[in-house]
A and B are shown apart, each in its own frame.
Chain A
Amino acid sequence: AAGVIQSPRHLIKEKRETATLKCYPIPRHDTVYWYQQGPGQDPQFLISFYEKMQSDKGSIPDRFSAQQFSDYHSELNMSSLELGDSALYFCASSRPNIRGVEQFFGPGTRLTVL
C-alpha cells in the first residue's frame, strides 16, 4: 500500500539559510498535518490543511510558511533557520477529514541546522 512520502529525508543547513520540506500524502487523502519533533520530545503540531486550504495553526514560527497544492502535496518553507529548528519534521495525512480517523505519518525529514 502507498504511504506518505517526505523529501528530502535528511537536510543539513547553515544558520540563516532557508529550507523547503515536501510531503506527498497517500493518494486520495485530502488532509495534511505537519508536526515537529525535537530531540527527546513528543511531536508538536505546526499546521494543517484540508482540501488545499489551511485549517489550523499550532506553534509554528512566523519564519515558517506552508501550503497545500492542487495535487494535495504540501510544502513547508522555513527561512532564517536557527539552531533550535533542528528537529524531525513529520507530515501526516488522513481521509476523511473527521475526528478519530487515523493519521498516517511519513518517515520524517531530519533537519540539522549548523
Chain B
Amino acid sequence: AQTVTQSQPEMSVQEAETVTLSCTYDTSENNYYLFWYKQPPSRQMILVIRQEAYKQQNATENRFSVNFQKAAKSFSLKISDSQLGDTAMYFCAIPGDSGAGSYQLTFGKGTKLSVIP
C-alpha cells in the first residue's frame, strides 16, 4: 500500500514571498509518479505539477517547482512570488497501480496555505 504524509496542516506566507510545502511518501515501486493538487475555496481540484520518479530533473511550472528526493521519498512544493490566488488547500498525491488498470490517487491530508496581503 502507498502512503502520503503532509506534516504541515496549515501555513501562511506574505504576498510575493516564497513558501515550501512538505510531503513524504512511501511506495514499494521503483517507477511511479507524484502530483501536487490545489483545492481553492471553490473546492475544485486542480493539478499544479507532476513529477516522474525516473526523471532526475525537478519539475517546474512557472512559479511552482518541486524538490524531489527519491532516496528520502520526499516531494516538496515550492511556490515563488506567492499571490493571493494561491490561497488554497494543497494535496500531495501518488497514483497507485492495482494491476487492474486503475490508477487511483492516494492523497495526503493536505496543507492549508494562506497568502497574506
Chain A interface (Cβ < 8 Å from any Cβ of B): 33, 35, 41-45, 48, 50, 55-56, 58, 88, 90, 92, 94, 97-105, 107-108
A88 in contact with B43 (CB, 8 Å): yes
Is chain B's binding surface mostly helix, strand, loop or mixed? loop
Known: A33-B104, A45-B105, A56-B104. A102 touches B50 (CB 8 A): yes
B49-84: CB near A (< 8 Å → 1, else 0) gives 010100000000000000000000000000000000
Known: A42-B108, A100-B33, A100-B95. A50 touches B101 (CB 8 A): yes
A56 to B102 alpha-carbon distance, docked (Å): 6
A56 to B108 alpha-carbon distance, docked (Å): 20
Q: Contacts of A104 on B, CB cut-off 8 Å?
A: 47
Q: Contacts of B46 on A, CB cut-off 8 Å?
A: 105
Partner of A102 from B43, B47, B98, B100 at Cβ < 8 Å: B47
Q: Contacts of B47 on A, CB cut-off 8 Å?
A: 102-104
Sample 19 A-B pairs with CB under 8 A, ordered by A number: A33-B105, A43-B107, A50-B101, A50-B102, A55-B98, A55-B100, A56-B98, A56-B102, A88-B43, A92-B45, A94-B103, A99-B32, A99-B95, A100-B52, A102-B50, A103-B47, A107-B42, A107-B44, A108-B43
